[in-house]
Amino acid sequence: MKTSIHSAFALLVCCLTLPACAAVELNPGAERVIVTKQPAPQGCRFLGTVIGEQGGSVSGAFTSNANLQEGAVNDMKNKAHGLGGNYVVLENTNAGTTISGDRGNISGQQTDVTHMGNAYSCPPQLVGL
């Protein structure tokens, strides 16, 4: 009986966490949003600040650092696109680490990434689109 309960629990954990391993998907059209540290060109209209994030203390432990980074960028592009933007000036990036253990055995790993940027709507010819 205990074995079947443990097996069922392990299957449930896998089903809930495996999708968390992949980067956030881009919404249609968001692939054309440019993310850069370069200031927005003259003629662009500021739309607002966008925050992209991926991970967390549970799902982030099962997600590669590359997917955390890519997912946070994709989330930011999706949000900028939702505002009607096509250009994001990246202002800040934070990576969080979850630490666990006791005095003699402490470990930690990156579990989340958050990007903050300013979204703009720019004439396509100004930004190479």
pLDDT by 10s per residue, the chain, length 129: 555 565 545 544 544 555 557 888 999 999 999 999 999 999 999 999 999 998 865 565 667 878 888 999 999 999 999 999 999 999 998 877 666 556 677 656 667 889 999 999 999 998 988
Q: Which of 73, 75, 81 is nearest to 47 (CA)?
A: 81
Measure the CA–CA gap between 122 and 17, rounded to whole angstroms. Answer: 38
- What separation in angstroms does the CA of 62 have from each of 23, 54, 65, 96? 11, 12, 10, 14
pLDDT recorded at residue 58: 59
User: Residue 68 is which amino acid?
Assistant: L
H or E stretch at 77: helix 65-82
Are the C-beta atoms of 57 and 31 separated by less than 8 Å? no
Helix (H, G, I), strand (E, B) or coil at 17: helix
